[in-house]
Each structure stands twice: as C-alpha cells, then as structure tokens.
Amino acid sequence: MIKNILITGGAGYIGSHISEVLIKNKKKIFIVDNLSTGYRKLINKKAKFFKVDINNKKKINSIIIKNKIDSVIHLAANLIIEEGEGQPKKYYRNNVLGTKNLMSACNETKVKNLIFSSTAAVYKDGLFKVSEKSKKKPKSVYGKTKLAAEKIIINFCKLNKLNYGILRYFNIVGSSPSGKIGLINKGDHLFKNFSIESMKNKPNYKIYGTNYNTYDGSCIRDFIHVCDIAEIHYKTLKKINDLNVSKILNCGYGKGSTVKEVAKEFGNQIKKKYKISKLSRRKGDLVKIVALNTKLKSFIKWKPKYKSLKIMVKSSLRWEKLITNNKKNV
C-alpha cells in the first residue's frame, strides 16, 4: 500500500498539480525543491516541504528514511529547450547526475516505486505519431539528458527490484480549476507566453518558425492539460505498485494542433485584435510530434477530462487573469 510519497521538484507547475490530486486521494506528501524555478506559494499546505537540492544525496537520504518514503515522483529538472542548448553542463548536472544521486538514495532506503517525468523530446524528429517503441534520437540537449536519465532509472530499478513508471510528457498546458495553482514561470512555454500577451491591449503572439513542412507552416504539438497529467501520475503509481510492474508510457491526447491554431484559439477567446510575429526557428525544436497513447489508455483505463483546445486555452487565460489582477492589487 502506498502511504508516503516524495515529490522532487514539487514546488513547480506540474508538481503542485500532482500534489493536489494525491492529497485529494488521502496520500501523505513530502516535497523536495531547491526553489530555483519553484515557488513556495504553489506548495500545498498539507504537504511537508524541504528546501533541498536533488544533488544533496545525504539530505535526500535522510528525508526518505525519516519519513518512511515508499514512493518517489521525480520531477526535479531543468527543462527549457533553448536554455539547454547554451548550458549543456548545467542540464547534465541537474537532469542526469541529479537522477543518479536520487537513485543512489533510493537504493539505500526502502523505496518501492518510482515515477519519472520524461519527455517526448527523446524521440527522433520528424516521426510525427510516435509510440513508446519509436526511434529515440533526441534533437535537443534537454532531450538527450532526459533519455540518459531514463536509462539510469531502468538499469537501476531492474538491478534493485523497484517498480518504475517513465512518463513521456508531450506539451503540458492549462491550470487547476481550483484557481490556486498554475504556471508562473515564463521560459519557452507557448501557452504561458500567449496568455501573458493576451492580458495586453494589443497582444502580439510570437511564432518561432512558420516555414516548416506542416499544413500551415508552424510546428505541430500534442497539448495535454496539466490536470490530466496529474491524474496520470496518481493512477500509474497506484497501478505499478498494485501489479508490481514497470512501464514506459506516452502522455498525450494523440491529437496535434499547430502553433498557428493555438494563436487563433487565443484570439477567439480574448475577442480583441491581435498580431502574429513570425520569427526564425529555434534550435532544438521538433517539427511535429503527436503521441500514440494506446498503452496509457489500456494500462490505467484512462479517460481524459480536459482534452479540447478551447478548454486548455480558457484554463490558461483564467489563471493568467487571476495572477495579473493579484499583482495589480499588491
């Protein structure tokens, strides 16, 4: 039975939504985050928080032992594709060595289950619809470090008889209907950047690359709502524990939208004139990628709740409006 769950990087966007689901299901949550990109305000009040870096093996060890952690959800990572291209050593240290340190800590304790947040960026560019068995050939530094971390986890868990769930995220967007948590960091997050622009009188949506070999020239992505992702974590963790198995799963809806289609939906929602700036391609960006999610649906009997582009855009705008108004009232 799963009782005590440690979430690394739990003070961030995805971690805060996972915490919300786990606490709703009466699980005891412990969060480790160095707050380099996370925020205290996103940490659930019912979770116990430790400001610790993932590379501090001694402290991680102590937290796992003292709190009798039986399961770990490993989210802590650097994840901005453009930044990774310029700072490969930083990404290797945090995404690869950080994972190695965590695995070592798990080995010395009684952790039974591990969920790892991986990415669709591990796949070869240009494949379009990918299954978990599709060719892995990361284009970006970020994708390369995530694939290296996957291999560390698989080898470690097989050797030490831990159950693992490797979740390959596609493009996560949206925010919780509770209105308490959402994406704060800007980075290179498309929906966030479009949401920020949408709060202005004259929004200017920037599109990087409009001459790709797609039906409208812009990149194609499989966007998935963060609340559905959070539910996937809980259900996958429960399943690998109950069945004593390990799985690699694509986490996407299996439907692609172009960046131009996203811009159009934002325009439809804000009901005001907007501009589109066509910029050059960014290094590391995939042209088009969509999940084949048959394994996910079969394994956890998954039925997504937020899959329409309209719902995802509305959700992102609602959160941005909320935090914009809060800033004005401070």
Of 173, 174, 180, the residue nearest 322 (C-alpha): 180
pLDDT band with cut points at 50, 70 and 90 for residue 7: very high
Cα distance between residue 209 and residue 217, in whole Å:
8
Q: Which residues of 84-122 are buried (b: 16+ CB within 10 A; e: fewer)?
A: bbeeeeebbebbbbbbbbbbebbeebebbbbbbbbbbbb
Radius of gyration of the chain (CA): 19
User: Which domains are seen in the chain, by residue range?
Assistant: 4-172+223-251 (3.40.50.720), 190-221+254-291+299-329 (3.90.25.10)
Catalytic residues: 142
- Tens-digit pLDDT profile for residues 158-184: 999 999 999 999 999 999 998 889 999
Cα distance between residue 315 and residue 106, in whole Å:
36
Amino acid present at 122 = V
Q: The tokens of 95 are what?
A: 């995404």
Cα distance between residue 230 and residue 228, in whole Å:
5
pTM of whole model > 0.75?
yes
Q: The tokens of 254 are what?
A: 């299996």
- Tens-digit pLDDT profile for residues 105-154: 888 888 999 999 999 999 998 889 999 999 999 989 999 999 999 999 99
